[in-house]
Structure 1
Amino acid sequence: MAPVPPAGLPATAGELRASGHVLRTVKAELRENLLARIAAGGDRFPGVVGFDETVLPDLERALLAGHDLVLLGERGQGKTRLIRSLVGLLDEWTPVISGAELHEHPFDPITPASRARVAELGDDLPVAWLHRSERYAEKLATPDTSVGDLIGDVDPIKVAEGRTLGDPETIHFGLVPRTHRGIFAVNELPDLAERIQVSLLNVLEERDVQVRGYVLRLPLDLLLVASANPEDYTNRGRIITPLKDRFGAEIRTHYPLDLDLEVELVRQEAALAATLPDHLLEVLARFTRAVRESPAVDQRSGISARFSIAAAETVAAAALRRAALLGEPTSGPDGPVARIGDTEFVTGTLRGKVEFEADGEGREVEVLDHLLRRATAETWRARLGGLDLTGFVAVAAEGAGVAAGEAVSSKDLLAQVGTVPGLATVLARLGHDEVPTAAEAASAVEFVLEGLHLTRRVAKEVDDDGRVVYGGRDDGEPTEGRRR
């Protein structure tokens, strides 16, 4: 439902004029509000992660210049999120002619009908107030998009009501005119047929529209923003040269440049069904970055941020399922906590999100498993490297080893380890400053054992019942050749 305007706002054009209200264009409105945000030092684009030093300065310069713009980048780089955040730079409430089809300002009517009302009613013209969330429209470009969808067409119902075809009132306006005094976004612009892209030329330059030969000039006031994937990858179409020339700015987006930003993005966006410790988030972030850099992966396609988000959600779901199967709490302070063993399920379910080069086809899971093991080892070294973990090695070497995995509860895993020397230091390194729950401690222990295996200090075997046994010393077989 649309937000309700606050009480006391002017209700007529006369009251609006008496209040001292000044008409501003959309681009002037965005410019002044952006400058105010910059001066206040606040967050100008909430929810956008990883662009502070790269993309956002270019975006701010484009907005201050009053440019329409296109965001160019691979899939899953947050282009749509960034575009939608622009709405927050609009005034929270803006006046419109009550009942006007195109949200026209009371001081600047643009349609014949609204001009007639203004001339007739004068200061008594009724004024309504529009929230900024209603001043944004978005169209996903598809091959079947028509000029009528974007610009408008003749409405046969209005013709049937008795109007003549020469009457401008017979026009049904499309999305672009209906976003007058707002922000209009076109996602995946190259997918729009070239003949349809032509219909946007006048909108960007002359700020008017043409509908089936009607002599109708609408001085539209809007910001046009588009997103596109690099043309050398999509091969589905292109942005026609005259349209590219009319955009004031082309801004390249990218994936998070730093590991910490990758982790922050996953933490912000993932809807987790169980607790995911920071060290496992780091594993998944390193895994995502390794997949992006792998020569076996088609780098032109990109690895979306949705890959790491879905991976985190899958790992959390695996932890929840394990807790339910073992009769452990599935919620609350003692609820499930993901372990490193839960990450092994992501490679099978997420391979469809990765496009491989020809030499990687047929061994997709093998490639992803190797990259996941490498990410785990790198995280283990970064967080636990240099610690004295001989106590864990000794425990694993005793008897039948230490059983972990999906079939072993947190309490059973901890009972096998006991009061192993170095556990308190490990827990502190992994961010558990307070006394951890049994599930948190078990997650830390399993991570230590997996890291010792990947560094060839502890052997690892997987039983048919899903139990993972860490025991004895590794025989020196390459890590990627072992069964997970």
Structure 2
Amino acid sequence: MNSAPAHLPRTAGALREAGHTPRGVKTELHENLLAALRSGRDPWPGIVGFSRTVLPQLERALLAGHDVVLLGERGQGKTRLLRTLAGLLDEWAPVIEGAELAEHPLEPITPASIRRAAELGDDLPVAWLHRDQRYTEKLATPDTSVGDLIGDVDPVKVAEGRSLGDPETIHFGLVPRAHRGIVAVNELPDLAERIQVALLNVMEERDIQVRGYTLRLPLDVLLVATANPEDYTNRGRIITPLKDRFGAEIRTHYPLDVAAEVDVVRQEADLVAEVGEPLLEVLARFVRNLRESQVVDQRSGVSARFAVAAAETVAAAALRRSAITGEEPAVARPVDLDAVPAVLRGKIEFEPGEDGRETEHLVHLLRRAVAETARDRFAGVDLAPLANAVADGHLVATGERVRGRELLESLPELPVLHEVAHRAGAAEDDSPGRIAAAVELALESLYLARKLAKDADGTTTVYGP
């Protein structure tokens, strides 16, 4: 974290002379969002697939000053979206230096800070808080207590000589410490109902109550939360009074098309080898097939993280093959897709009665995704010359010990191979690995169309008549 710029005021008096005017966090978000929209700047960097659905709703909620709950299945980017809210805050915000809460120097709210401000006047020291430090995130768990969220009596302060009735014996919880910032609660329904009650005052009256204290702190926070639709009836629920206090409930969703799914994978995956666009499309279609399958528990959902993990697995398989064969650069080929079902089977929840058939279903849906991608990529291309060449005795072997160059040398010079490579995004002078990946996709599509046979022995796969 860079230190605050030196030119910023360091006392309350200097802050006042600079013409600084306190404004609430919701006003700050409102004005900064409007400025971004007017200038054409994207307020939501890294968010893919929500531009026409979720983001307009969220922008309207922020402009209205509403607290927000995002409702959607796992892996839809809810948390990622909430974290981008910090980018709409001012880069630096003034706070009272040494104060327990992030209080504005011109508007202190705790008894200790009010007393300091009265004693020091314009000499009250000012520190500056970066926007990233004004976003607070809490994963709701059943063992979360009111003390964690709101606060509780600090026995150490009592032991120091303060009386139990002194408000300064309170140790503030997460929400008060997020004063003048954003509080995000992930999986809100997992919070015990009696704990959710503690948030009612925060959301409506904008204050906190700790045990029997009469302390009233006018908190300035934006409360946002995430929840799974099933949580309303299964693991837990958001209590009705709390739901009523959220100004906006916004439904999220998985990417609506293959292109958006590919964009998510390309953005999020840490690939250790090159994975071409066609294979990313295969994985995107694979995930979409899983989300439509009747054998998969759709209440649990199929997370976008599945596609990301699948791409990383395919890249790892390509890197391993490259290490074994010595072929550089490491480029993924369709044969590397075989690693996906076995490795990622545990990330999917299947319907009851499908025990023992999980891998069979995954392999079937993956093959369907390969066929759909090849049909889309090679539409209008006559692959018959390639099928005839294989039928005439040019058997093609692929596998973890077969280089791309060896695969290409198995086939005669055919004009259709250049067209196949072009359709798959490879140029004629590209590495043999990239061209082999395109040719192998065409061979696999011919096999799935029952125009070629395929024989696999575990390490080597041979395409033949």
TM range (shorter): over 0.9
Q: TM-score, normalised by structure 1?
A: 0.94
Maintained 8 Å contact 1:290/1:371: yes
Contact 1:97 1:126 in 2 (8 A): yes
2:331 equivalent to 1:326: no
- Superposed, which structure 2 residues align to 1:26-425 within 5 Å? 26-231=25-230, 235-329=234-328, 335-399=329-393, 401-425=395-419
Helix, strand or coil for the counterpart of 1:417? coil
> How far is 1:395 from its partner?
2.4
Q: How far does residue 422 in structure 1 lie from its aligned partner after superposition? A: 1.1
Among candidates 463, 468, 474, match of residue 457 of structure 2: 463
The answer (yes or no) to whether the contact 1:197–1:240 under 8 Å persists in 2 is yes
CA distance, structure 1, for counterparts of residue 340 and residue 221 of structure 2: 44
TM-score by length of 2: 0.98
What SS does structure 1 have at the residue aligned with 2:70? strand
Secondary structure of the structure 1 residue equivalent to 2:415: coil
Post-superposition shift, 1:361?
A: 2.6
Contact 1:280 1:340 in 2 (8 A): yes
Mapped pair 1:448 → 2:447: no
Letter of the aligned partner of 2:461 in structure 1? V
* Post-superposition offset of 1:385: 2.2
Counterpart amino acid of residue 91 in structure 1: D
Q: Distance in 2 between matches of 1:147 and 1:165?
A: 18
In the alignment, is the contact (CA less than 8 A) between 2:394 and 2:411 conserved in 1? no
Structure 1 position 233, deviation (Å): 7.6
CA contact (8 A) 2:269 2:311 kept: yes
Segments of 5+ residues of structure 1 without an aligned counterpart are: 330-334, 473-484
- Using the TM superposition, give the Cα deviation of residue 401 of structure 1 relative to its aligned residue in structure 2, in angstroms: 1.1
- 1:63-92 Cα offsets, whole Å, 9 max, x none, are 000000100000000000000000000000
Gap runs ≥5 in structure 2 = none
Q: Identity rate of aligned residues, in percent?
A: 68
Deviations 1:253-304 (A, max 9, x none): 0000111101111111000010000000000000000000001111111100
SS in 2 for 1:391: helix
**1:201-240 CA deviation, whole Å, 9 max, x = no partner?**
0000001111111110000001000000013687111000
Task: Name the SS of the counterpart of 2:182 in structure 1.
Answer: strand
Q: What is the root-mean-square deviation of aligned Cα atoms in Å? A: 1.2
Residue 22 of structure 2 is matched in structure 1 by 23
User: What's 1:437 paired with?
Assistant: 431
User: Runs (4+) of structure 1 moved beyond 6 Å?
Assistant: none
Give CA-to-partner distance per residue, 1:403-441, whole Å, 9 cap, x none.
112221112111112422311111111112462111101
In the aligned structure 2, how far is the partner of 1:27 from the partner of 1:176? Answer: 16
1:476: which partner in 2?
Answer: none
- Tell me, yes or no, if the aligned pair for 1:392 and 1:421 is still in contact at 8 Å: no
- How many Å separate the matches in 1 of 2:238 and 2:231? 12
Contact (CA 8 Å) 1:102, 1:180: kept in 2 or not? yes
Counterpart CA distance in 2 for 1:193 and 1:231 is: 16
**Structure 2 residue 25 is matched with structure 1 residue 11:** no
Q: Distance in 2 between matches of 1:463 and 1:301?
A: 36
Q: Secondary structure at 2:317's aligned position in 1?
A: helix
Distance 1:305 1:384 in 2: 27
Alpha carbons of structure 1 residues 99 and 433: separation in structure 2 relative to 1, 3 Å: same
Contact 2:335 2:399 in 1 (8 A): yes
For 2:35 and 2:232, the matched residues in 1 are separated by 39
Q: Deviations over 1:43-81 (max 9, x none)?
A: 111111100000000000000000001000000000000
Question: Which residue identity does 1:65 align to in structure 2?
Answer: A
Could you tell me how far apart the structure 2 residues matched to 1:117 and 1:24 are? 21
Q: Per-residue deviation at 1:463?
A: 2.3
User: Matched residues in 2 for 1:231 and 1:284: separation?
Assistant: 27
**Preserved CA contact (<8 Å) 1:233 1:300:** no
Q: Retained in 2: the 8 A contact 1:49–1:264?
A: yes
CA distance in 2, matches of 1:200, 1:78: 25
> CA deviation digits over 1:12-51, x for unaligned, max 9?
1111111111111000000000000000111111111100
Structure 2 distance, partners of 1:326, 1:423, is: 23
Note if contact 1:233-1:301 (Cα within 8 Å) is conserved in structure 2. no
CA distance in structure 2 between the partners assigned to 1:107 and 1:288 by the alignment: 53
Alpha-carbon distance between aligned partners in 2 of 1:395 and 1:410, rounded to the nearest angstrom: 18
What amino acid is the match of 1:391? P
CA distance in 1, matches of 2:87, 2:398: 49
Distance, in Å, in 2 between the alignment partners of 1:399 and 1:17 is 86
Contact 2:394/2:410 (CA < 8 Å) preserved in 1? no
Please tell me whether the aligned partners of residues 96 and 124 of structure 2 are also in contact (alpha carbons under 8 angstroms).
yes
Displacement, 1:394? 2.4
Q: Distance in 2 between matches of 1:196 and 1:254?
A: 28
| Paired letter, 2:258 | L
Paired AA for residue 213 in structure 2: Y
